[in-house]
Amino acid sequence: MRTPLSILLCLLFVVAGRATAQETFAPLITDNCVAVVHVDFSNVELDTVKSTLQKAGEDFLRMLGFDDRSFKATSQELAVELEKLDVLVRPTFETITKELGIREYALIADMELLEAGGPIFAIPWKNKTDKHFETLIKTLATLFGEDDQGPKNIIKTDGFLLVAPPHMQAMTAEWAKTKKPTPNAPVLEALKNVAGAEIKIAVALPEQVRVMVRNAPLPSEVPVEMRNLLLFAAQKIEWASASISLHAFLGGTPPKNSDVFLTIKTPRRQDAVMLRGMMEMAIEVGINAGRFAMEQEMSDADFQIPPLAFQFAKGLLRTLLPDVEEDKLLFRTKEVYGANVAVATTGMAVALLLPAVQASREAARRMQCANHLKQIVLALHNHHDAISGLPPLYTIDANGKPLHSWRVQILPFLEQQALFEAIRHNEPWDSEHNKQFHDRMPAMYKCPSNPNNGCCYSAIAGQVFTPARETRTGGGSLFLANNTFAVITDGTSNTLAVIEAKEPFNWMDPTADISLDELAKGINAGRAGSYHTGGCNCALFDGSVRFLAQPIPGEMLRNFARPNSGVPLRLP
List pLDDT tens digits, range 155-170.
Answer: 888 889 888 888 888 8
Mean pLDDT, to the nearest integer, of 23-49? 84
User: Mean pLDDT over residues 16-42, rounded?
Assistant: 78
Same domain, 100 and 230: yes
Whether 350 is covered by a domain: the verdict is no
Q: Lowest mean pLDDT: which of 129-143, 395-409, 448-462, 542-556? A: 129-143
3-state DSSP assignment of residue 262:
strand
Instruction: Please report the pLDDT score of residue 531 as a whole number.
Output: 92
Same-domain check for residues 257 and 383: no
Q: What is the pLDDT of residue 67?
A: 85
Residues 528, 519: Cα–Cα separation, whole Å: 6
- Between residues 18 and 425, the one the model is more confident about: 425
Considering the domain architecture, whether residues 383 and 255 belong to the same structural domain is answered as no
| Domain end (from 265, 285, 316) | 265
- Judge whether 404 and 473 are in contact, CB under 8 Å: no
The larger pLDDT score, comparing residue 401 to residue 93, is at 401
Domain that residue 431 falls in: 358-561
* Amino acid 51: pLDDT: 84
pLDDT of 443 higher than 50: yes
DSSP readout, 165-226? Answer: -GGGHHHHHHHHHH----TT-HHHHHHHHTTT-SEEEEEE--HHHHHHHHHS---TTS-HHH
Q: Tell me, yes or no, whether 535 lies in a domain.
A: yes
* Number of domain units in the chain: 2
Q: Which of 143, 139, 141, 169 is nearest to 157 (CA)?
A: 169
pLDDT of residue 304: 61
Report the pLDDT value the prediction gives residue 317, as an integer from 0 to 100: 81
Once rounded to an integer, what is the mean pLDDT over residues 504-511?
96
d(CA 165, CA 152): 9
pLDDT given for residue 46 in this prediction? 80
Do 515 and 412 have their domain in common? Answer: yes
176 domain residue, yes or no: yes
pLDDT of residue 8: 41
Confidence of residue 547 (pLDDT cuts 50, 70, 90): very high
What pLDDT is attached to residue 250? Answer: 47
Rounded CA-CA distance 509/404 in Å is 7
The reply to whether 35 falls in a domain is yes
Q: How do beta strands 323-325 and 260-265 pair?
A: unpaired
SS3 464: coil
Confidence of residue 101 (pLDDT cuts 50, 70, 90): confident
Q: How confident is the prediction for the chain on average, in pLDDT?
A: 81
118 with 255, same domain? yes
**512-541: per-residue pLDDT in tens?**
999 999 999 999 999 999 999 889 999 999
Q: Do 140 and 254 reside in the same domain of the chain?
A: yes
pLDDT of residue 499: 97
224 and 367: one domain?
Answer: no
d(CA 266, CA 237): 5
Q: How far apart are CA 283 and CA 77, in angstroms?
A: 47
Over the Cα atoms of the chain, what is R_g? 36
What is residue 570's predicted lDDT score, i.e. its pLDDT?
Answer: 77
Q: Say yes or no to pLDDT of 262 above 80.
A: yes
pLDDT tens digits along 172-210 = 989 989 988 988 888 888 888 886 667 888 998 877 777
Q: Is residue 285 part of a domain?
A: no
The angle subtended at Cα 375 by Cα 371 and Cα 377, nearest 5°, is 115
What are 329's strand-pairing partners? 264, 324
Query: Residues 117-135: what's their mean pLDDT?
Result: 86
- Per-residue confidence at 215, pLDDT binned at 50, 70, 90? confident
What is the percentage of the chain residues whose pLDDT exceeds 70? 81
Is position 409 within any domain? yes
Q: Check whether residue 244 and residue 379 sit in a common domain.
A: no
Taking CA atoms, 536 is separated from 377, 397, 454, 471, 531, in Å, by 16, 34, 17, 35, 8
- Higher-pLDDT residue of 341 and 447 is 447
What's the pLDDT at 303? 53
Confidence of residue 252 (pLDDT cuts 50, 70, 90): very low
List the one residue out of 302, 322, 36 whose CA is nearest residue 181.
Answer: 36
Decide which of 324 and 254 is more confident. Answer: 324
In a domain, 306, yes or no: no
Residue 292 lies in a domain: no
Mark whether 404 and 536 lie in a shared domain: yes
Min mean pLDDT across 269-278, 333-342, 554-563 is at: 333-342
Cα 84 to Cα 90: distance, rounded to the nearest angstrom = 10
Q: Residues 373, 260: one domain?
A: no
Q: What integer pLDDT is reported at residue 251 of this predicted model?
A: 43
Query: 2: which DSSP letter?
Result: -
Ramachandran area for residue 23 (φ above 0: left; ψ -120 to 50: alpha; else beta): alpha
Mean pLDDT of 343-369: 62
Q: What percent of the chain has pLDDT above 90?
A: 35
Residue 13 has pLDDT above 50, yes or no: no
Could you report how far apart the first and last alpha carbons of the chain are, in Å? 50
Q: The dihedral of CA 202, 207, 209, 215: what is its sign?
A: positive
At residue 19, the 3 state secondary structure works out as coil
CA angle 482–514–403, rounded 5-degree value: 50
From CA 514, how far away is CA 528, in angstroms rounded?
7
Indicate if 408 and 539 belong to the same structural domain: yes
pLDDT of residue 219: 67
Domain boundary among 249, 265, 281: 265
336 — pLDDT class (breaks 50, 70, 90): very low
Q: pLDDT tens across 394-433, in order? A: 999 988 999 999 999 999 999 999 999 999 999 999 999 9
Final residue before a domain boundary, out of 265, 284, 307: 265
Q: Pick the closest to residue 557 from 542, 536, 533 (CA basis).
A: 536
Higher-scoring residue by pLDDT: 504, 99: 504
- The answer to whether 348 touches 359, Cβ cutoff 8 Å, is no
Strands 496-505 and 455-458: antiparallel
pLDDT of 483 reads: 92
Residue 313: pLDDT over 70:
yes
Q: Are residues 252 and 377 in the same domain?
A: no
User: How many Å apart are CA 541 and CA 378, to the nearest integer?
Assistant: 9
